[in-house]
Amino acid sequence: MEKTKVALLGAGFIGDIHLESYRRFVPEAEVTAVFSGTERRAEEFARQHKIPRWFTSIDELLKHADCEVVDIGIPNFLHASVAEAAARAGKHVIVEKPLCMRLEEADSMAETCRQANKKLMYAEQLCFAPKYERVRHLIQEGAIGKPYLIKQSEKHSGPHSDWFYDVDRSGGGVLMDMGCHALGWFRWMLGRPAAKSVYATMDTVLHKGRTRGEDQSIMIVEFENGVTGLAEDSWARHGGMDDRVEVYGTEGVSYADLFMGNSALTYSQRGYGYAAEKAGTTQGWTFSMFEEAFNQGYPQELRHFVECVREDREPLVTAADGRAVLEMIYAAYHSARTGAKVPLPFTAKVKKPVDLWHQPDLQGAVT
C-alpha cells in the first residue's frame, strides 16, 4: 500500500496533535515534511519525530517537499494565502479552524481549490469527536424527539501561542478561536440549516493587558429550522479544558462532557506531571484526561481526509462550512457592538472580524 504523503505546516500545539494522530491512527498516511518559520523549531520537530524533511519557507516546501497533502496549522491570517498557494502547487489542503480571516478569503480559497481540482477540507474535529458523534446518532435515531435547543461551550484559561492574542494575526479572540467550534458543530449536528440571526455579547475580563480580542463570549444563533444555538466560549476559565454539549428535544435531552466527564478523578498531595490541557495545578483534586487527541476527534478527522484524497471523495466538512461559520462570527462581532440580533446573510468589508466589534467607525462598512 502506497502511503499518502502529508506536509505539516506548523510545529506548535496543533502540529503535535496532528502528527500523533497520523502516526497512531492513520496508517494510510505518512508525514514527509514539516514547516516552521523558526529554523530551530522546524529542525527539532523533524528530528524528534523522524520526519524526513523540514522547511522554513512555505514556498520552498510547496516546490520541493514530496507530498500530496498540505496540512495547515499556522496562524489564521496565513490560512487563505497558503491554502491557495498549495492548491496551485497541486496539493490537497486541510486547514485548521477557523477557515480564514475574511469572507472574501473564504470565497477565494474555495474557488482556487475548485479550479485546481484539489480537495479543501475544513478541519472541525468536533464533527469527529466520538462522544459528540454518539449524541448526533442518538438524535438521528429520534431518542430526544425534535431538537429545539443546542448548546456547546468551550473554555480554558487562554491559548499557548502569542499570535492568538494579536488580533491582526488571529482576527479576533475567543469567539474566533473557539466559538467557531460551536458554530461548525451546530451546523453539523442539525444537518446544516441556514442560520437566520446571530446575537452576541463579549468582553475582555482576564487578558485585558494582553489582547484587544475578547476572552469571554456568549452567542445565540437562530436557525431556520426553529432550533436555537447557544455557544459559550472563554479564555478566562481556570481548571483545565472544558468542552461540553447539551441537546434538548421535545422528547428528551442529551448531555456530553468531553474532558471532565471522560477523565479519571485524582487527588494528589504532591501533584504530578500533566492532568489535561490547561489544567493548572495538579495538586489536590484533578480531572486526569487521557487519549485527548482521539477523544477530540483529531485522528478520525485526518483519516477521513486522507481517505477522501485516496478515493477522490468530497470531504464531509468543507470550505462552505468554514465560510458559514465565519459569516456567523462576523455577525456575532457586529451584534456585540450594536447590541442587536443580526439577521443573516450578513457581510461586511473588514480587515479582520474583530474590527466589527471594537471599531465603531467601521459601521459604514457594513452592507
Q: CB atoms < 10 A from the CB of 23, how many?
A: 15
Distance CA 131, CA 129 (A): 6
Closest contact distance (angstroms) between CB of 102 and a second copy is 26
Q: Which is nearer to a second copy, 339 or 364 (CB)?
A: 339
Q: Which is nearer to a second copy, 269 or 367 (CB)?
A: 269
Distance CA 286, CA 55 (A): 39
Helix (H, G, I), strand (E, B) or coil at 271: coil
Q: Which is nearer to a second copy, 36 or 254 (CB)?
A: 254
Q: How many CA atoms lie within 13 A of 225 on its CB side?
A: 16
Closest contact distance (angstroms) between CB of 46 and a second copy is 23
List, edge to edge, every strand of the sheet that includes 4-9: 53-55, 29-35, 4-9, 69-72, 92-96, 120-123
**Direct distance between the N- and C-terminal alpha carbons of the chain, in angstroms, rounded to an integer:** 52
Q: Which is nearer to a second copy, 33 or 342 (CB)?
A: 342
Cell numbers at 335, concatenated: 451584534
Q: Which is nearer to a second copy, 105 or 222 (CB)?
A: 222
Contact (Cβ atoms closer than 8 angstroms) between residue 65 and residue 77: no
Helix (H, G, I), strand (E, B) or coil at 14: helix
Closest contact distance (angstroms) between CB of 341 and a second copy is 4
Q: Which is nearer to a second copy, 207 or 323 (CB)?
A: 207
Closest contact distance (angstroms) between CB of 250 and a second copy is 5
Backbone angles phi and psi of 236, in degrees to 5 = -125, 20
Q: Is 278 left (phi over 0), alpha (psi -120 to 50) or beta?
A: left
Closest contact distance (angstroms) between CB of 217 and a second copy is 10
Q: Which is nearer to a second copy, 114 or 149 (CB)?
A: 149
Q: Which is nearer to a second copy, 98 or 213 (CB)?
A: 213
Q: CB atoms < 10 A from the CB of 362, how many?
A: 18
Q: How far is CA 204 from the centre of its chain?
A: 21
Closest contact distance (angstroms) between CB of 315 and a second copy is 20
DSSP state of 77: G
Closest contact distance (angstroms) between CB of 139 and a second copy is 9
Cell numbers at 50, concatenated: 523522524
Closest contact distance (angstroms) between CB of 328 and a second copy is 15
